[in-house]
Structure 1
Amino acid sequence: MPHPQLLSVEDLNGFGVGPVSIGLATGERLAIMGASGAGKSLLLRLLADLDPGEGRVILAGEPRETIAAPSWRRRVMLVPAQAGWWAPTVGGHFELSMMDAAVATAARLLLPPDIMKREVRVLSTGERQRLALVRALARQPQVLLLDEPTSGLDPAATAAVEALLVDCCGEGIGIIMVTHDAMQARRMADRMFTMNQGRLAPA
């Protein structure tokens, strides 16, 4: 039985991207591949309403223009390849009500038990990458937009991230993932796409 449509995109255009039309079902995982400069990251930014664009984007029946931008970005959450950090410690990026769930998610991603007490400046690239995903999931998005979520990780950490994402989809989150790893795309995606000069086509 097909899952209901979660995200619907019609004729989305922006700088370096478009027109793109695509649908994402509840709990579905899409992978997007393509050469550097093809527009993959720009597409994710357009979907997250971080860059100006034109077209129709609907989330669970609600047109994007009817949803305030901060609310949209919490519901359609972008995890960029290099996330920003604004507090000196890891824990400073989480509301108190989120902390227990965030610690549990961090443990699933093979992060140390005291990670929330650590200063961001001492974290490795891979730790920051996994923590950006923890931070996004703590806010309970409906759609995750992931830009190379495992590019800096070793095989064990990559497997942990992939297993967590599969479980997230089982709970109804939809995922659009940009990856350079064709093997990962085949492991993870229900559907695969390639991007070339801002246009999306089935792989």
Structure 2
Amino acid sequence: MSDVCASHVPAAARTAQAAPILPLSVRDLALRFDGATVLDGLSFDLSATGCTMVMGPNGAGKSLLLKLLHGLIRPTAGTIAWGSHDPSAVTARHALVFQKPVLLRRSVAANIDFVLKARGKDARRRDRLLDHVGLGHKARQPARLLSGGEAQRLALARALATDPEVLFLDEPTASLDPASVLAIEAIVAEARNRGVRIVFVTHDTGQARRMADDVLFLQGGRVAEHSRAADFFPAPRSQAARDYLDGRIVV
């Protein structure tokens, strides 16, 4: 896999063009559906750089949290502060990749062309983006014929085409073979090294150990723990996290 492209502007360089949207501050965030509280009083801060792995058992609220941060749903209460910006004004500056990629029923190349055109980006970047994720040789193939790992790499290329400052990933490697998992991790790690802030939901503790700078652990719709990865894995502070890592909580 090659470098993305010379025309990609690192997140750090974009600060001269616009006020940065990081750090992120979340305070007392709550979400209720039909009278049921699914997220309750979440408060945490994310720094301007690094990779945060969001972990916790099924039903903890991990995917809902990403959708709230990305602006797909509105919180019932609480605040999401992207620097000094209104949350609705910065949606275009972050991207979200789902567990099951939603691709256009067009060619692989056309999926990238669509995003570049919609965002007013340089159309010449398409081939470099596809080469970067190892799909250059499949540019003319219908996206529906891609394997699961290839489809997820296309979804990542499409997200990177928007030049995001923050990349949200909702279990992007779930159910993929080991080679595909490592390929996607390499793409994400390269983006992180360029200054893209990563927020990554996973159940894979091995993956989290490989990639995390910090871990945000959710339990029952609350933040049970937010720690540096170097502290979390050897000695989690919360009982919920200890039970999770020891396999006593079903994921």
Structure-1 separation of matches of 2:218 and 2:126:
33
Partner of 1:8: 25
Structure-2 separation of matches of 1:88 and 1:158:
25
Shift in Å, 1:130: 1.3
Shift in Å, 1:116: 2.4
RMSD: 2.3
Structure-1 separation of matches of 2:151 and 2:129:
14
Partner of 1:109: 133
Shift in Å, 1:102: 4.2
The higher-RCO structure (CA 8 Å, 6+ apart) is 1
Partner of 1:41: 63
Shift in Å, 1:83: 2.5
Please report the TM-score for the alignment, with normalisation by the length of structure 1: 0.84
Structure 1 or 2, whichever has the larger Rg, is 2
Q: Report whether the alignment pairs 1:130 with 2:153.
A: yes
Structure-2 separation of matches of 1:129 and 1:188:
18
Report how many aligned residue pairs link the two structures. 195
Structure-1 separation of matches of 2:163 and 2:148:
24
Higher strand proportion (structure 1 or 2) = 1
Please report the TM-score for the alignment, with normalisation by the length of structure 2: 0.69
Residues 1:156 and 1:125: Cα distance change in structure 2 (over 3 Å): closer
Structure-2 separation of matches of 1:99 and 1:183:
37
Structure-2 separation of matches of 1:102 and 1:79:
18
**Percent identity of paired positions between Structure 1 and Structure 2:** 37
Shift in Å, 1:174: 0.9
Shift in Å, 1:143: 0.8
Structure-1 separation of matches of 2:87 and 2:210:
31
Partner of 1:184: 207
Shift in Å, 1:98: 4.9
Structure-2 separation of matches of 1:169 and 1:201:
25
4+ long deviations beyond 6 Å:
none
Structure 1 residues 76-85 or 155-164, which shifts more? 155-164
Structure 1 segment 159-178 matched on structure 2, within 5 A: 159-178=182-201
Structure 1 residues 85-94 or 120-129, which shifts more? 85-94
Structure-1 separation of matches of 2:41 and 2:183:
35
Q: Check conservation: 2:55, 2:216, Cα contact below 8 A.
A: yes
Partner of 1:92: 110
Partner of 2:170: 147
Structure 1 segment 26-105 matched on structure 2, within 5 A: 26-53=48-75, 54-65=77-88, 67=89, 72-94=90-112, 95=116, 97-105=121-129
